[in-house]
A and B are shown apart, each in its own frame.
Chain A
């Protein structure tokens, strides 16, 4: 085999003086020899297996080589010496003969450190998101003045309106006069005999989604799709009662406070590579966020009690839950309200049990009122 020879620019990693060394690849001995009168004993031998090339270099007309190190103070595990080679022929030979030319060595113990700190970071985040923030949110939600909560809820409803009605000019809020009166009647009958700490503000959005949500401060929004899906006013009343339950328990406020804290953390972790995406995510999440199972159950019971007091048939709630369960089995376009309210069948069962004890019931709205509510968006 022909022995390749060339020149290289060599820095020994101890001084800044450049040496123009003669290079010689000895394929048999598997070494690269560097020769220069200034080198100790005139020459250095680099074992081919130990040679590493620097990665992601801008210049393709040269290669910068170094040797793997046993240990290094900075994390790239190579020695401080550098050899720059420009001769294309010798570069080809080196690429062929050096087995680990492009290998990235990592100092021992690095993975252990990474694992430990990943655990620590995840632990700290989980602790914040699931323990500290909820605890703080609980405390703060209780102390938040109601008028501030109301103003804030208004902001949430408006921004939700913007998110849902992106493609449309004007607002989403339906304003049919008779429909609004019917809605008010439903609210009044439902809350009769119940002490509510909030003045409720119920609105209907002109949107096909089968959904409803509560915002802080007594704001409740029903979607048109939900009213269309319901067979009779009692089913709508059941959903409304459920949302009132969330409002009264301050579940919404608690969730939103928690989301605010989590949002900062989220953008911290993700580094916002998608450009401000976290804020949007937060807005969506605030409203779709699942309440805890206990909060859901409590809201159900609250709704059932209201239905009972107003003499409304509680099986309406069961019927609506059955409908939800059927929708859940359907395609991929699962509305948020449904997916965050699990175990519909189970909850329907509870409502049926409750309904068995009920005496005579009357529909919560008259037929005319119900028609008006259905036409509220027209």
Chain B
């Protein structure tokens, strides 16, 4: 083994916030059209923040090709979704109204599931295509990453695996995680070198332990409450309730723990060109800490900002609220307050990017190691994927994730 590269991250908060905020304003001003350029520019920033051995990653996508991909997807989706939506509506399953009774709420839930089911294959298809597009537009040391075509096969298999997951109540989740990741990894290239996913899916069960503990506690708490309720034992009821709360939190943390565990395991068992290996040591505690602290800080900041705006609003619109008529002055102050709200809303998005998303990316990147890195010198360029067109479906269906 020779040569070892530790990932490093150079992104900063304030320039990224500025970039996000400005591009978000453009997006609003252009009725959403600029969002393709916005996303591209933020990706360029984040990709270029990541470097290994001093060489930065690069994102070569362009806004215009994303826009083009979106247009293509629109033509197909417009027809598909428009018809499905109306058919659902006809059958009394209205997605867009507030349910009044329990039966209506159920029907609405059902309608949401049907719509989801109708677009699920498309979303899975889009998910693969989006990853393929990002790969095709990523470079390191001038060499392209790439992914083979396989979106429909992926969508089909993923549906099968999800069904399996549903039937077995999540017991087969490690198999699903592993097989789907293997499907994608085995089709991924860096230059002319192919990735391989090694390891066994059974090994992921170790990562499920906190999910199982949480579930066991949940059942325990349930039993305690039931028994306590039957015997009128207050102590048992309170104890059961406490366990219930604890187990719920435990379960949620367990889910994060599983994702982190799976990421570490799967990364640690990836192999490039039969020689280069990887290591990942992400920590669940660190990630949850970043999310919790980030959420609290953002919540406080936004609380103050929205409070100030509401104060301004009450001051300037007091007369209108008391039943006065709309005058020119109150309309213009209404507009100003609307704009302030919009800006605050956009700022919240930017804050969550720099206080939650970016720190987590930084944590992941700096905890990834590449072993036997000398072999990377001998890898050569790969011909561009002509078919890896922009993630139009992903954009239209919003499956892009945080960045």
> Which A residues fall within an 8 A CB radius of B?
9, 11-18, 54-59, 62, 64, 72-76, 78, 80-82, 84, 104, 106, 110, 113-114, 117-118, 120-121, 124-125, 128-129, 132-133, 136-137, 140, 143-144, 148, 151-152, 154-156, 158-159, 162, 167, 208, 257, 260-265, 268-275, 279, 282-283, 331-333
B78 contact from A158, A268, A271, Cβ within 8 A: A268
Chain B residues positioned under 8 Å from A81 (CB to CB): 142
A136 touches B379 (CB 8 A): no
* B90 and A13 form a contact (CB under 8 A): no
A257 neighbours in B (Cβ, 8 Å): 86, 89-90
The 10 tightest CB contacts between A and B, nearest first, are: A73-B384, A11-B142, A58-B49, A260-B89, A56-B44, A264-B85, A261-B86, A117-B71, A75-B65, A121-B74
* Residue B391 at the chain A interface, CB threshold 8 Å: no
CA distance in complex: A235, B90 (Å) = 35
Q: Are B32 and A269 in contact (CB under 8 A)?
A: yes
Residues in A with CB closer than 8 Å to B48 are 54, 56-59, 64
Are B75 and A58 in contact, with the CB atoms below 8 A? no
Answer yes or no: B113 CB below 8 A from chain A CBs: no
B28 A59 Cβ-Cβ under 8 A:
no
Which residues on B sit within 8 Å (CB–CB) of A162?
98
B10 interface hit (Cβ, 8 Å): yes
Task: Please give, as numbers and ranges, the residues of chain B lying within 8 Å of A12 by CB-CB distance.
Answer: 142
Which listed residue, B28, B41, B85, B326, touches A333 by the CB 8 Å rule?
B326
* B242 touches A (CB below 8 Å): no
Q: How far is the CA of A17 from the CA of B82 in the complex (A)?
A: 52
Contact of B77 among A56, A72, A268 (CB under 8 A): A268
- Are B75 and A133 closer than 8 Å at their CB atoms? no
Residue numbers in B under 8 Å from A152 (CB-CB): 92, 94
B234 → chain A, closest Cβ, in Å?
36
B-chain residues with CB within 8 Å of residue A263 when the two chains form the complex: 85, 96
- Beyond A133-B82, A268-B78, 19 additional contacts (C-beta under 8 Å) are A9-B55, A16-B378, A17-B378, A18-B377, A58-B46, A59-B48, A72-B384, A73-B384, A80-B381, A117-B68, A117-B72, A132-B82, A132-B83, A148-B92, A264-B84, A265-B78, A270-B31, A282-B96, A332-B331
Residue of A at shortest CB range from B34? A273
Interface size class of B (residues with CB under 8 A): 35 or more
Measured CB to CB, the nearest residue on chain B to A128 is B82
Contact of B82 among A106, A167, A264 (CB under 8 A): A264
Interchain CB contact (< 8 A) of B380 among A16, A75, A273: A16
CA A225 to CA B48, docked complex, whole Å: 60
User: Does B141 belong to the interface (CB within 8 Å)?
Assistant: yes
Are A75's CB and B58's CB within 8 A? no
Give chain B's interface secondary structure class: helix
Over the window 85-106 of chain B, the binary record of Cβ atoms lying under 8 Å from chain A Cβ atoms (1 yes, 0 no) is 1100110101111111000100
A260 touches B75 (CB 8 A): no
B325 on the interface (CB 8 Å rule)? yes
Name the residue on B nearest A11 (C-beta). Answer: B142
- Bound together, the chains give a CA A154 to CA B95 distance in angstroms of 16
* Nearest residue, chain B, Cβ from A272: B398
Question: What would be 21 A-B contacts, judged by CB atoms less than 8 Å apart?
Answer: A16-B143, A18-B55, A73-B383, A75-B64, A76-B61, A80-B381, A82-B139, A104-B62, A121-B74, A124-B75, A129-B82, A144-B90, A152-B94, A155-B94, A155-B104, A260-B86, A261-B86, A263-B85, A265-B81, A274-B345, A275-B345
Chain B, 117-159, contact with A by CB distance < 8 Å: what is the 0/1 string? 0000000000000000000110101111000000000000000
Query: Looking across the interface, which residue of chain A has its beta carbon closest to that of B386?
Result: A73
Shortest Cβ gap from B383 to chain A (Å): 7
The answer to the question of B207 belonging to the interface, with a C-beta cut-off of 8 Å to chain A, is: no
User: What residues of B have a CB within 8 angstroms of the CB of A272 in the complex?
Assistant: 398
**In the bound complex, do residue B45 and residue A58 qualify as a contact, i.e. CB atoms below 8 Å apart?**
yes
Decide: B381 and A13 in contact? CB cutoff 8 A: yes
CA distance A151 to B31 in the complex (A): 35
With A261-B86, A268-B396 known as contacts, the answer to whether A120 contacts B75 (CB < 8 A) is yes
| B interface list, Cβ under 8 A from A | 10-12, 15-16, 19, 24, 27-28, 31-32, 35, 41-42, 44-46, 48-49, 54-56, 58, 60-62, 64-65, 67-68, 71-72, 74-75, 77-79, 81-86, 89-90, 92, 94-100, 104, 136-137, 139, 141-144, 191, 321, 323, 325-326, 328, 331, 342, 345, 376-381, 383-386, 395-396, 398
CA distance A104 to B79 in the complex (A): 35
What is the bound-complex CA distance between A305 and B47, given in angstroms?
70
Which residue of B has the minimal Cβ distance to A86? Answer: B54
Q: How far is the CA of A114 from the CA of B390 in the complex (A)?
A: 13
Report whether A271 and B35 are in contact in the complex, using a CB–CB cutoff of 8 Å. Answer: yes
- Nearest CB in chain A: distance from B108 CB, A: 10
A110 to chain B, nearest CB (A): 6
Is A110 in contact with B49, judged by CB distance below 8 angstroms? no
Chain A residues near B376 (CB-CB < 8 A): 16
Q: Could you tell me if A159 and B44 are in contact, using CB atoms closer than 8 angstroms?
A: no
CB neighbours (8 Å) of A154 from chain B are 100
Known A15-B379, A16-B377, A74-B136: A124·B85 in contact at CB below 8 Å: no
Hey, which chain B residues are within 8 Å of A106, CB to CB? 62, 64
Residues of A near B326 (CB, < 8 A) are 331-333
Contact A13 B142 (CB under 8 A): yes
CB of B55 within 8 A of CB of A74, answer no
Q: A14 contacts which chain B residues (CB < 8 A)? A: 380-381
* List of B residues within 8 angstroms of A56 by Cβ: 19, 41-42, 44-45, 48
Q: When chains A and B are docked, how far (Å) is the Cα of A80 from the Cα of B383?
A: 11
Nearest B-chain residue to A14, judged by Cβ: B381
Give every chain B residue within 8 A of A62 (Cβ-Cβ): 56
Give min CB distance, B320 to chain A, whole Å.
10
- The answer to whether A16 and B67 have CB atoms under 8 Å apart is no
Return chain A residues, CB-CB under 8 Å to B379. 15-16
A279 touching B68 by the CB < 8 A rule?
no
A18 interface neighbour in B56, B136, B141, Cβ under 8 Å: B141
B292: min CB distance to chain A, Å: 23
Contact between B82 and A265, CB atoms less than 8 A apart: yes
CB-defined contacts of A124 to chain B, threshold 8 Å: 74-75, 78-79
| Complex Cα gap A140–B71 (Å) | 29
B383: chain A residues within 8 A (beta carbon): 73
Which B residue sits closest to A262, measured CB to CB?
Answer: B82
Q: Which residue of A lies closest to B35 (CB)?
A: A271
In whole angstroms, how far apart are the Cα atoms of A73 and B137 in the complex?
Answer: 11
- The answer for the CA separation of A12 and B383 in the assembled complex, in Å, is 14
Contacts of A260 in B (CB 8 A): 85-86, 89, 94-96
